[in-house]
Amino acid sequence: MQIRADLHVHTTYSKDSLITPKDLVYYSRKRGLNAVAVTDHNQLQGALKIAKETTDFLVIPGMEVSSSDGHIVALNIQELIPKGFSAVETVERIHRAGGVAIACHPYVYFKGCLREKVCASFDAVEVINARAFPFKNSVKKAEEVAKKLGLSRVAGTDAHYGPQIGYGYTVIEAQEPSVEAVAKAIVKGDCEPFGQPVPVILNAQQQVLRIKRMIKKFSHT
Binding-site ranges for Zn ion (CB under 5 A): 64, 71, 111, 158
Q: Tell me the residue length of the chain.
A: 221
Nearer to Zn ion, 17 or 152 (CB): 17
Alpha helices in the chain (DSSP H): 21-30, 45-53, 87-96, 135-149, 179-188, 200-219
CB 130 within 8 A of CB 118: no
CB closer to Zn ion, 93 vs 160: 160
Cα distances (angstroms) measured from residue 111 to each of 48, 69, 170:
25, 11, 21
Instruction: Supply the minimum distance, in Å, between the C-beta of residue 105 and Zn ion.
Output: 6
We find the least distance from the C-beta atom of residue 14 to Zn ion, in angstroms, to be 8
Using alpha carbons, list the distances in angstroms from residue 33 to 3, 11, 163, 209: 8, 17, 13, 25
Nearest distance in Å: CB 176, Zn ion: 27
Question: What residues does 2 pair with on adjacent strands?
Answer: 173
Is 8 or 153 the residue whose CB approaches Zn ion more closely? 8
42 or 54: CB nearest Zn ion: 42
CB nearer to Zn ion: pick between 132 and 174? 132
Shortest separation between residue 134's beta carbon and Zn ion, angstroms: 16
CB of 40 to Zn ion, least distance (A): 8
Q: Which residue is nearest to Zn ion (CB)?
A: 71
SS (H, E, C) 162-191: HHHCCCEEEEEECCCCCHHHHHHHHHHCCE
